[in-house]
Amino acid sequence: MEILKTYKLYIGGQFPRTESGRSYAVVSPSGQHLANACQGSKKDVRNAVQAARKAQGSWAGKSAFNRSQIIYRIAEMLEARKGQFLEELQALGSDLKSATQEVESSIDRCVYYAGWADKFQTLLGSVNPVASSHFNFSVPEAMGVVGVVACQQTALLGFISQVLPALIGGNTVVVIANQKSPLCAITLAEVLATSDVPGGVVNILTGEVSEMLPTLSAHMDVNALSIAPIEAKLQQKAQEEAIDNLKRVRIFAEPLYAESAQGLPYISDFQEIKTTWHPVEQIAGGAGGY
Amino acid sequence: MLGNLSTPELSSLLALSPSIDQIGTNERITRIQARSIKGAAKMQGLRMALSMIDLTTLEGKDTPAKVRQLCFKAQHLHDQAADLPTVAAVCVYPTMVGVAKKALGNSGIKVASVSTAFPSGQAPFEVKKLDTLYALDNGADEIDMVVSRGRFLSGDYQFVYDEIAAIKELCSTARLKVIFETGELDSLDQVRKISDLAIAAGADFIKTSTGKIQPAATFPVVLTMLGAIKDHFDKTGQMIGMKPAGGISSSKLALQHLLMVKEVLGEAWLSNEWYRFGASSLANDLLMQYQKQLTGKYQSAAYFSID
Amino acid sequence: MMSQTNWNLEPSLESAAQIQLQAQYELFIDGKWQAPLSNTYFDNVNPADESHLAKIAWGNAADVDLAVCAARTAYDNVWSKLSGAERGKYLFRIARLMQEKAKELAILETLDGGKPIRESRDIDIPLACNHFFYYAGWADKLQEAFAGQQIAALGVAGQITPWNFPLLMLAWKVAPALACGNTVVLKPAETTSLTALKFAEICQEAGLPAGVVNIVTGYGDTGAALVAHPDVDKIAFTGSTAVGKQIQKACIGTAKKLTLELGGKSANIILEDAPIDQAVEGVINSIFFNQGHVCCAGSRLFVQESIAERVIEKLKFRLQSIYVGHPLDKNTDIGAINSKKQLETIERYIAIGLAEGAEMYQPDCALPSQGFYCKPTLFTDVAQSARIAQEEVFGPVLTIQTFRTMEEVVQKANNSPYGLAAGVWTDKGARIFGLSQQLKAGVIWANTYNKFDPASPFGGYKESGFGREGGRHGLSAYLKFSN
C-alpha cells in the first residue's frame, strides 16, 4: 500500500500544519486522490505575513550579488529534483513533453532572474542632472512584503514567474498557491528550505483563494499585491481591500507562463523609486557637473 | 580664560567648531539678497553703512600728503549734503599712524593701523611685535593684525593662537582686529575654525581680508564668521565685532551685508562699535545712492570727491 | 561712535496693477471659452485680504463630458497623429510663452493662493516653465527612454491638481502627458484656478490644437465626474490621502491607469555632527516654505539629544527674522493661508497640540488684520504618539522630538503611514547613505530640504501615493506598456 504524502504549509522556513487543522484532497484530473494539502486560514495568512515582514529587512539588506547567487542556487536544486517535479506534473495531468517543458522553462526562468538581481538597479535607476548644485540620483528599492496569488493554470512555471521578479528586488512574499494543484509549490518549498533562501523570504499557503485573499489584501502590513488571473469578483474585492493602506496592486490579465512573460517590467512593478539629493560643494577655480 | 589655552584645550575647542555646508550657506545668502530694502529703511541703511567705514589706504606709495587728504575726506564725506555721519576710522600702515592721528585731531574718527607684517604676516614674531608697538606708540586706536596663514594651514594652531594672544596683550586698550585672509584658506570649515581660534585668543573684531588677495569679503565667508560670533555670544554673552574688507564696493552689497548682520546677529551689532566695512571706494557709492534717494536723480561720479 | 538699534524693512509691495482679472471665467474646452452647462459659478477669494477676485465656472458632469469628448477627438484626429518631435515643439513654445509671462503668472499665483511673491517668482513659476522645457525634449525620445519595451500613449488623461502649487502641479501633470502623446482634461483646485486659466490662454497663443488641453474648473464634484468618466484612460491626482483613496476606489474595475501624490508627515533628522546653522536654515525651509502647505514638508523634526537645546534656541532666534505678512510684499516669508477652511484646520491642530501638553512657541509678530494668517509655530516636548506628530497639519506648524540613537530615529521616522520624503543632516557621508537606505520615503534630502527639479523624480511610499512625477521615471505614468 502506497503512503500518501500530506503537503504542509511553508511559513518562516518551517512546514507547519494549518492553524485551522483542516486539509483538502488534491486529486488528479481522472479523480485519483493524490495527496492531502493544508487548507490555509486567516491565521495562516497572518503568520505568513508576520514571517515575511520579519525577513524582509535582512533579505533586502543582502548584497544584490548574494541574492543573485541564492536564486541561481534554486535553479541548481530544481535541476536536481527535476524527476520529482515531472512526476507531480504528470500526476496532475500533464503529458511528459509539456511537463518537461514546464520544468525546464522554470529552471531557465530562475537562471534568467538570478542574472537580473544585480543589474535591474542600473537600468531602473538614474543620475538626474538638476539645475542646482546638488548630486541627485534615483534608485529602485523593494516595496516590502508582496502578497501573491499564484497562477491557477500552471503548477510550477506561473508560480516561479510571479515570485522571482519580486524576490530578486528584495521583497519577501506570501504566496497563495494554485488551489487545485498545490503540490509543486510545496515541493518547491522543500527546495527553498534546503537551499540558501532564508526562512520567511518565501511563504507558501495552500487552500482556497477566496478564503485567504481577503485577509491578505486587507492586511495593513502587506505593501503590494501580485494577482494572477482569478475570478473577477474576487479580484475586485482584493483591489478594494488594498486601498486601506494604499497597496500597490498589479493585476495580470494573462497567466505568466508564456515565454515572453518575463523581463524588467515584472521587476519594476514591485520596486519603489527613491530619489536622494545632496549638495555638491564648489571648489574654487573648478567647474563640473553630473 | 582668553589667551591662555594649552594645546589640548585648544584642540578640544577647535573640535567643537561645527562644519559648514557651502551650498546651504549660499542658499541662506540668496534669501537675504532677495529682500527689498527701500525708502526710509534704505536711507537709514546707507547712513549706517557710511558710519561703519574704515576708510583705507594701504599702498606702498602712501605718503603723508595722501594720508592727510584721506583724513580730510573722512571728516567731510560730502559737505554738500547736510547732516551726514563721518566714517568710523581711517586705516593705514604703521608709518602713517602719526600723520593720520594728527590730521584727524579730535574728530572722534579712530585711527586703525595694520600690523604684524601686513599683508603676508611672513616676518619673525619679534618684528611683528615691534610693528605693533610702533603703531600703538604713534597713537593707533585699533590694530588690524594678520594671522600666519601658512602656520594655520599646516596645522600649527597653537602658534597662530599664541601670536594673536601676544598681540592682544600688547594692545592694552586698543581694539584688536584679526585678519584671516580668507582667500588663502581652503574652505568655509577653515574659516569657521580660524574664527573660533581668533575669538578664543582675544580678538575684539574678526576681519576677512587684507584687500590684497581675491576673493576677499564674500558673502559665504562673512556669513560663516558671523555664525562664529553668534555662537560665541550665545555661549558667553560677549560681543565680538565683524569687519568684512575688500570686495564690498557698492551700496547694494553693503546694505545686503547689513541685513545679514541684522538677521544673523541682531540689531545690537548694527553700529560702528561692532561692525565695520574695510573699503575705499564704497563711501562714494553710498553717497551717490544717498543723493539719489534725496533728489530722485541718478548721480554722476564727477560730483563726489575721490580721496 | 554712532549707535543704531532699530532698522526695519519697509513693505515692498509688488504691483498687481498690470493684472487684468476678468469678472467671470468660463471653462476652456476644445480650444474655446465656453459657459458651463451647469450655469453655475463660484466666488474666488484672495486669501490675503478676503477680497473678491472673480467668478469662476463650476463645471458639472455634462461639462466634464464635453471636455473629455473634445480631448478624445483631439487625440484621435490630431495629437496622436503628430510625431514626437512636433509635440515637443508645441511644448517648447508653451514653455517659452510661460517664461515671457512669468511675472504675470507669479503675481496671479500669489493673488489667488496667498503664497509669498518671492516664492511664486523665484520658485513656482520658473520650475513650472522648466518642467515644460524638460518634457518637451523627451517627446521624441520616448523609445530611447524605454528601450526594448513596446510603448504607446494612453489617450485622454484626467488630471486633478491641488491648491498649494497650482501652476507647478499643472506643469508636473500636463507636460509629461502631452510629451507622451496624451490629451488632457485638467481640473484645478477650486481656490486656485487663475493660473490654470491663464495657462489655457497660453495654449491658445501657442497655437496648440483645440481640445489637446481642456480646463474644467470646479469643486470636488467636478473632479469626481472626471474620475468617473468612462472615456478617460488615465487619472493623475495630487491632493489628500483621503480623496486619493476615493479615487483609487472609483478606478477599480476600469482600465484607467492611476498615479497618486498624496499626503505626508515627513521626518527631518538632525544628527549631532550636522552643519548646524545650515540645518537650522533647512528646517526653516522644510516647514515654512509655502506656509507649510507642502505635501513633503518636514513637519516632524528629530534632533539628537546632545544638540537639541542649541538647535531649538537657534530656531527660535531665526524665527525673529521671518516676516509674516502680505503675500505680495517682496519681503514676506510666510504669506496667507490658502483658505479660511485651511486656517481653521491649522488652528484646530494647534489647539490639539496644546491640549496634548506640548510646549508651543510662536514669535512675537503682528499679523494683518484682514485675511487668513498663521504665525510660524514650534511644538517642543512632543511625543511620537501625539496627534500633531502623526497627522498632516498642512500649515506652518513644526513638531520637535529628540532622539538618542540612529536606530531609534529610523524607527520613529518610519513609524508613520506616510512615506513621502525625509531629511537627513550629518557631516558624515557614509551615515547619509546608511540612513537614506533605511528611511522609507520616496525623496531623501541630505543636508538640504524641499528641493525640486524637473529632472528629479518625486513621489511617495506607502500612503503618500504611488507613481513618480519628474525625470525619466515621470514618463511611465503617461505611457501604456505592452510586451
| Strand, helix or coil for residue C250 | helix
- What is the Cα–Cα distance from B240 to B236, expressed in whole angstroms? 11
Compare all CA atoms of chain C with the CA of B21 and give the residue at the minimum distance.
Answer: C275
Question: E-assigned strands of C357-446?
Answer: 359-361, 377-380, 397-403, 418-419, 421-425, 443-446
Domain count, chain B: 1
* Helices marked H in C139-235: 142-145, 166-179, 194-205, 220-228
- Is residue B171 within 8 A of residue B242, CB to CB? The reply is no
Instruction: Provide the CATH number for the domain around residue B142.
Output: 3.20.20.70
How many Å is the maximal CA-CA distance in chain C? 80
CB contact under 8 A, B38 and C12: yes
Give the pLDDT mean for C437-456. 98
The residues of B carrying an active-site annotation are: 144, 207, 243
Contact C442 A274 (CB under 8 A): yes
pLDDT, position C1: 46
Phi, then psi, of A31 in degrees rounded to 5: 95, 5
In sequence order, the β-bridge partners of residue A273 are A140
Nearest by CB: B263 against C3, C10, C321: C321
User: In a 10 Å sphere around its CB, with 0-12 CB exposed, 13-18 middle and 19+ buried, how is residue C279 labelled?
Assistant: buried
What is the number of alpha carbons within 13 Å of residue C39 lying toward its C-beta? 0
- When computed from its CA atoms, the radius of gyration of chain C, rounded to whole angstroms, is 22
Report whether pLDDT(C110) > 60: yes
Query: Rounded to an integer, what distance in angstroms lies between the CA atom of residue B247 and that of residue B280?
Result: 10
pLDDT of residue A259: 86
CATH no., domain C24-262+464-482: 3.40.605.10
pLDDT digits (tens, 9 = 90+) for C394-412: 999 999 999 999 999 999 9
DSSP conformation letters of A132-153: SSEEEEEEEEE-SEEEEE--SS
Q: Say how many C-beta atoms besides its own lie within 10 A of residue B301's C-beta.
A: 9
- B91 has a pLDDT exceeding 90: yes
Name the DSSP letter for residue C198. H
Read off the pLDDT of residues A75-113 as tens digits, 9 standing for 90 and up. 999 999 999 999 999 999 999 999 999 999 999 999 999
Q: How many CA atoms lie within 13 A of C371 on its CB side?
A: 26
Q: CB count, 10 Å around CB of B282?
A: 24
- pLDDT of amino acid C5: 67
Q: Determine the residue of chain A that is closest to C453 in CA distance.
A: A130
Out of 3.40.309.10, 3.30.70.1170, 3.40.50.2300, 3.40.1350.10, the CATH code matching C267-453 is: 3.40.309.10
Shortest distance between the Cα of A275 and any Cα of chain B, in A, equals 19
Answer yes or no: do A277 and C443 touch at CB < 8 A.
yes
Burial profile C37-71: b = 16 or more Cβ within 10 angstroms, e = fewer:
bbeebbebbbbbbeeebbbbbbbbbebbbbbbbbb
The Cα–Cα gap between B53 and B199 comes to 22
pLDDT of A70 strictly over 50: yes
Q: What's the pLDDT at C161?
A: 98
Query: How far from each other are the two terminal CA atoms of chain A, in whole angstroms?
Result: 72
CB contact, 8 Å: A43 with chain B? no
The mean pLDDT value of chain C amounts to 97
Q: Which residues of C are annotated as catalytic? A: 261, 295
Using CA atoms, how far residue B154 sits from A109, B11, B19, B158, in Å, is: 61, 14, 19, 11
Q: Which strands make up the sheet holding C51-57, listed edge to edge?
A: C24-25, C51-57, C41-46
Of C241, C260, C447, the CB nearest to A278: C447
Average pLDDT along chain B = 96
Measured CA to CA, the distance from residue B73 to residue B283 in angstroms comes to 10
With beta carbons under 8 A apart, name residues in chain C contacting B265.
Answer: none
Of A246, A265, A279, the CB nearest to C149: A265
Cβ C42 vs Cβ C19: under 8 Å: no
Place of cell 478594494: A240
Residue C483 has pLDDT above 70, yes or no: no
Neighbours of C365 (CB within 10 A): 15
What is the structure's pLDDT at A289? 61
Cβ-contact C237, C160 below 8 angstroms: yes
pLDDT in tens, A266-276: 999 999 999 99
In a domain, A283, yes or no: no
Half-sphere exposure of residue B131: CA atoms within 13 angstroms, side-chain side: 23
Q: What is the pLDDT of residue A3?
A: 72
CA distance A267 to A225: 13
SS3 at position C481: strand
Q: Which element (helix H / strand E) includes B142?
A: strand B142-146
Structural domain boundaries enclosing A190: 6-278
Q: What is the mean pLDDT of residues B104-116?
A: 97
Kindly tell me if the per-residue pLDDT of A285 is higher than 90.
no
Q: Give the dihedral of Cα atoms C441, C446, C447, C453; nearest 10 deg.
A: -80
Task: Kindly provide the residue ranges of all beta strands, DSSP E only, lying in C295-406, ordered along the sequence.
Answer: 300-304, 359-361, 377-380, 397-403
d(CA B219, CA C92): 36
| Contacts for A99-104: CB closer than 8 Å, 24+ residues apart | A102/A154, A102/A155, A102/A156, A102/A157, A102/A257, A103/A78, A103/A156
Angle at C236 between CA C232 and CA C238, to 5 degrees: 145
State the Cα–Cα distance between residues C349 and C390, nearest whole angstrom. 11
**Mean pLDDT, residues C72-97 taken together:** 98
Residue B307 is assigned to a structural domain of this protein: no
pLDDT, tens digit, 9 for 90 and up, residues B155-179: 999 999 999 999 999 999 999 999 9
d(CA C187, CA C224): 10
Distance from C-alpha of A175 to C-alpha of A154, rounded to nearest angstrom:
14
Closest residue on chain A to C481 (Cα): A265
Residue B7: count other Cβ atoms within 10 Å of its Cβ: 11
> Is B2 a member of any domain?
no
What local confidence, expressed as pLDDT, does residue B307 receive? 75
Nearest to B27 among C3, C7, C281 (CB): C281
Grouping H, G, I as helix, E, B as strand and the rest as coil, residue A189 is helix
Q: From chain A, pick out residues whose CB is under 8 angstroms from the CB of B21.
A: 279, 281
Which grid coordinates are listed for A190? 522543500
Determine the Cα–Cα distance for residues A128 and A147; give it in Å rounded to an integer. 32
Q: How many structural domains are present in chain A?
A: 1
Find which of B19, B20, B21, B23 to mutate to test the A interface (most A CBs within 10 Å of its CB).
Answer: B23
Beta bridge partners of B91: B56, B112
A290 within some domain: no
Comparing CA positions, the residue from A85, A73, A42, A40 lying closest to residue A201 is A73
Q: What is the spatial distance between Cα A285 and Cα A272, in angstroms, rounded to a whole number?
A: 39
Task: Give kind and range of the element (H or E) at residue C420.
Answer: none
Chains touching chain C at 3 or more Cβ pairs under 8 angstroms? Answer: A, B
Contact state of C277 with B18 under an 8 Å Cβ cutoff: yes
Window 251-280 of A: residues touching B by CB (8 A cutoff) are: 279-280
What is the rounded CA–CA span in Å between residue A85 and residue A177? 15
Determine, yes or no, domain membership for B82: yes
CA–CA dist C147, C308 (Å, integer): 50
State pLDDT tens for residues B72-90.
999 999 998 888 999 999 9
Q: Which amino acid is at B110?
A: K
Q: Check whether C4 has a pLDDT greater than 70.
A: no
| Chain C contact present for A14, CB below 8 A | no
List helix spans (H) across C122-193.
125-138, 142-145, 166-179
Kindly give, in sequence order, each residue whose CB lies less than 8 Å from that of residue A44, ignoring residues fewer than 6 positions away. A9, A11, A18, A19, A20, A38, A205, A207, A212
Q: Report the residue count for chain C.
A: 483
Average pLDDT over chain A reads: 95
Any domain includes A1: no
The beta-strand segments (E) located in A154-244 are 172-176, 202-205, 224-227
Q: Could you tell me which of C230, C252, C153 has the C-alpha nearest to residue A227? A: C252
As a dihedral over the C-alpha atoms of residue C354, residue C276, residue B4, residue B269, rounded to 10 degrees, the angle is -80
Nearest to C262 by CA among C467, C404, C17: C467
Average of per-residue pLDDT across C197-207: 98
pLDDT per residue as tens digits for the range B25-59? 999 999 999 999 999 999 999 999 999 999 999 99
| pLDDT at residue C7 in the model | 95
pLDDT at B1 over 60: no
Q: Nearest chain A Cα to C262, which residue?
A: A246
More confident residue, C200 or A4: C200
Chain A residues lying within 8 Å of C149, measured CB to CB: 264-265
User: Which H or E element spans position B98?
Assistant: helix B97-104
Per the structure, the complete domain to which residue B110 belongs is given by: 7-301
- β pairing state of B175-179 and B205-207: parallel
Q: By the 8 A CB rule, do A173 and A52 touch?
A: yes
